[in-house]
A and B are shown apart, each in its own frame.
Chain A
Amino acid sequence: MDLQQRFKQSGMITGFEVSNLITSNRRLRGDKKGKRKITPRNPLDFETYWLEYQLLNYLDEETETYRTRSKLLTFLEKVKKYDLTSGEIIQILDTRPNNLLELYLLLTTRSREKILDQEMLELIDLSKKTYMWTDEDQIKKDKNKKRKKENGKGKKKKIEKDKEQEQENEKEMEMEIIKDEDEKN
């Protein structure tokens, strides 16, 4: 079988999904969280690490943006009424238009004729809301922090738990040593 015949196209994805895949791959590998530039242990893996680093730099250039899966899903639901193609939707999500002119470039001739200028402005507002940091996002982030503290997922709780386990292990070791001495005697 030829190399090209083995490849079957299964779909188109956004830049957001690509960055998510890269972070999930790094997590599975056990790489350090939050660090973008990672040196591989094996030189054969250099190309994959280099590609991931350059892709993250290209896709996450604007640090002021905040994207979540839920926001993208709401965007997709609201965009259905405009009857856009999948390529247009993905381009809007990737390029993030700020003007009518930028949006006009992304659309096909069919959608340019269908959609009015007011609807185009609504589309631009929708795309901005998916990528801008809002007050609602701040409130959600604060709520999540409180939940983590209450459930004990913070670092301080982990350190305390580790100390307790070490103390228990030391006690068990002492008990075993005492038993061995008693048996000898």
Chain B
Amino acid sequence: MFFLYLITDTATVPPSNFSKNIDKILKVYFNRKYSNKVVINVGLVLFVSEIVKIGKAFVHVGDGSAHINTQFRVVVFRPYSDEIIEGEILDCDPLKGVQISCKFFQDIYIPPKALKKGTKFDETESLWVWHFVPKDPEDVELDPIGGSKSDDDEDDENNSENDESNQETHLLYMEIGRKIRFRVNSIKFKEDLSEEKLIKPIIENNTQQNKQNSSISIENENENEKENEKENEKEKEQNSLIRDPYPKVPLIVFGSVKEDGLGLVEWWADPDEDELLDEENQDNDENEEN
């Protein structure tokens, strides 16, 4: 999550600071220049840790300030893929998914496809809800990589509806302010923040049918009508294009919560030892009575 980077850069020190400590002045100068700023393909620069090497100071003609070539180390926040991080839930959105904050960095998103199987967006509460259906432990083998497995994976969707009616579904809300644990999938750096690029939506098995229908209708009509239809199709494509829901920010982190053990920390917390002892005592009392 945190890396050290070595940087070489020149600092301009005005003559009023010549009598002061050089290390302090250079630290202050580079902290003001780099801290809380994203360097593309590197990460979010946090602060200067130490100054390694101070070169000679050069004074140029027409300028009284000294230009010093320095080498210094900097702490950078750059999460890598498959890393596990804990944060707090900031916001829930049906398009963006779940937004997470690490207090000093808040552009972390878990898209809806990367949430657990069975999560749905509750519009009344405006929160994501995991509809958890407990299964028998004999049928299930925990697979930390791909989530829970069952013997018949193909029939899960058909059986889930029957299971929900037979078994109780636990509604686990992803409330705002709660601690969440997630795995980092990817990091994206955005260089151009000015232009908004439109994205084509993913359409499955309907594009071929639409093309056939449009081709049949064009053959039967005149040429003027053909041109008007082409213009209308172009307008429909532009209107159907979806805008990128994520904000225009230089650094975005995408994560996932699909595996066992990920999600809200309280979902996977161990019960207290006192509670375990109470349960054991209750079981022992019941056995004695029987």
- Which A residues are closer than 8 A to B by beta carbons? 3-4, 6-15, 17-18, 21-22, 25, 28-29, 44-45, 47-48, 50-52, 54-55, 57-58, 87, 90-91, 94-95, 98-99, 101-102, 104-106, 109
Encoded as 1 (CB less than 8 Å from any A CB) or 0, chain B from 96 to 133 comes to 00000011100000000000000000000000000000
Besides A13-B75, A58-B102, 4 more A-B contacts (Cβ < 8 Å) are A13-B3, A101-B144, A105-B262, A106-B84
Q: In the complex, what distance in Å separates the CA atom of A107 from the CA atom of B24?
A: 41
In this assembly, does B67 line the interface, its C-beta being within 8 Å of a C-beta of chain A?
no
Say whether chain A's binding surface is mostly helix, strand, loop, or mixed. helix
Are the CB atoms of B35 and A3 closer together than 8 Å? no
Are the CB atoms of B49 and A21 closer together than 8 Å? yes
Are the CB atoms of A55 and B5 closer together than 8 Å? no
Could you name 30 residue pairs across A and B whose Cβ atoms are closer than 8 Å? A3-B39, A6-B7, A7-B6, A7-B7, A7-B39, A7-B74, A9-B3, A13-B2, A13-B3, A13-B4, A15-B2, A17-B2, A18-B2, A18-B46, A21-B47, A25-B27, A25-B47, A44-B32, A45-B28, A45-B32, A48-B47, A50-B36, A55-B46, A91-B84, A95-B181, A99-B270, A105-B183, A105-B261, A106-B84, A109-B145
Contact of A9 with B104 at beta-carbon distance under 8 Å, contacts A22-B47, A48-B47, A105-B262 already known = no
Are the CB atoms of A6 and B104 closer together than 8 Å? no
Contact of A48 with B83 at beta-carbon distance under 8 Å, contacts A10-B6, A11-B4, A13-B2 already known = no
Are the CB atoms of B32 and A4 closer together than 8 Å? no
**A11's closest neighbor in chain B, by CB?**
B4
Encoded as 1 (CB less than 8 Å from any A CB) or 0, chain B from 46 to 76 comes to 1101000000000000000000000001111
- Which B residues are closer than 8 A to A by beta carbons? 1-9, 24, 27-28, 31-32, 35-36, 39-42, 46-47, 49, 73-76, 80, 83-84, 86, 102-104, 144-145, 181, 183, 259-262, 268, 270
Q: In the complex, what distance in Å separates the CA atom of A157 from the CA atom of B42?
A: 50
Q: Among A6, A55, A105, A109, point to the contact of B84 (Cβ < 8 A).
A: A105
Chain B hits for A101, CB < 8 A: 144, 260-261, 268
Chain A hits for B102, CB < 8 A: 58
For the complex formed, measure the closest distance between the CB of A116 and the CB atoms of chain B, giving whole angstroms: 16
Chain B hits for A94, CB < 8 A: 1
Are the CB atoms of A18 and B75 closer together than 8 Å? yes
Are the CB atoms of B2 and A51 closer together than 8 Å? no
Say whether chain B's binding surface is mostly helix, strand, loop, or mixed. mixed
For the complex formed, measure the closest distance between the CB of B180 and the CB atoms of chain A, giving whole angstroms: 13
Are the CB atoms of B6 and A54 closer together than 8 Å? no
Most chain A C-beta atoms within 10 Å of own C-beta, residue among B8, B36, B73, B261: B261
Q: How many A-B residue pairs have CB under 8 A?
A: 108
Chain B hits for A90, CB < 8 A: 1
Contact of A98 with B270 at beta-carbon distance under 8 Å, contacts A4-B41, A10-B73, A51-B104 already known = yes
Are the CB atoms of A48 and B31 closer together than 8 Å? yes
Are the CB atoms of A104 and B261 closer together than 8 Å? yes
Q: In the complex, what distance in Å separates the CA atom of A14 from the CA atom of B8?
A: 24
Chain B hits for A7, CB < 8 A: 5-7, 39, 42, 74, 76
Chain B hits for A25, CB < 8 A: 27, 47, 49
Q: In the complex, what distance in Å separates the CA atom of A69 from the CA atom of B120?
A: 45
Q: In the complex, what distance in Å separates the CA atom of A94 from the CA atom of B80?
A: 15
For the complex formed, measure the closest distance between the CB of B257 and the CB atoms of chain A, giving whole angstroms: 11
Chain A hits for B268, CB < 8 A: 99, 101-102
**A101's closest neighbor in chain B, by CB?**
B261
**A47's closest neighbor in chain B, by CB?**
B36
Chain A hits for B3, CB < 8 A: 9, 11-13
Are the CB atoms of B103 and A9 closer together than 8 Å? no
Are the CB atoms of A10 and B5 closer together than 8 Å? yes
For the complex formed, measure the closest distance between the CB of B258 and the CB atoms of chain A, giving whole angstroms: 12
**B88's closest neighbor in chain A, by CB?**
A58
Are the CB atoms of A6 and B8 closer together than 8 Å? yes
Chain A hits for B47, CB < 8 A: 21-22, 25, 48, 51-52
Contact of A6 with B9 at beta-carbon distance under 8 Å, contacts A11-B3, A48-B32, A91-B83 already known = yes
